[in-house]
Structure 1
Amino acid sequence: MKFNTDLPFKYQIVTEKSVFYYNDLEDLLKNSGYVVKGIEQNKNLRPELLDQPKFHNLAGPMWNAYSDGKPCIRYELYQRKGAYDHEV
């Protein structure tokens, strides 16, 4: 798989209880523990999102503005159905 390495990206993974930051793609792939399932190919998205990895159990990639001057790509953990359902 050939990922987008044209810019020095930062990455963020948001879970139910934490937010994790990775300094670059190598850091993300090596240390996140998530399994790559493909590459983002939707040409209707921002150019920064093209050729970014897609992961099992994570929504994304999503644009998350800039962090320390680098484009930041965000992923979010899919929530269980009903995880936030409650009676009022």
Structure 2
Amino acid sequence: MIRLKGRERRAAERRHRQGMDAARQIVGRGILDEATDRIVPAAVVALVFGRTGERISADDARDFLNAALADRGFPLLPPTTEAAEAGEDQ
């Protein structure tokens, strides 16, 4: 595990909190509206950017979404093609 100094740790915690807040909002709206097709990483990327001006990767957004889905007891998103291929190489 990488140990971060105070300022770096706070920045990482803030980024994590912002990503999780966005993912929870996307998951909550998707479930309430019965529009689970809208629960996609691109929605989290856009929401985080709109709220903070920070860019996150689609892989990070997928991780945030999967954490929010797991927290509510829903199935996780399927792995991306790239992630599946990377897993086969290991």
TM-score range, shorter chain: under 0.3
Structure 1 or 2: more helix by fraction: 2
TM-score, normalised to structure 1's length? 0.23
TM-score, normalised to structure 2's length? 0.23
Structure 1 or 2: more strand by fraction: 1
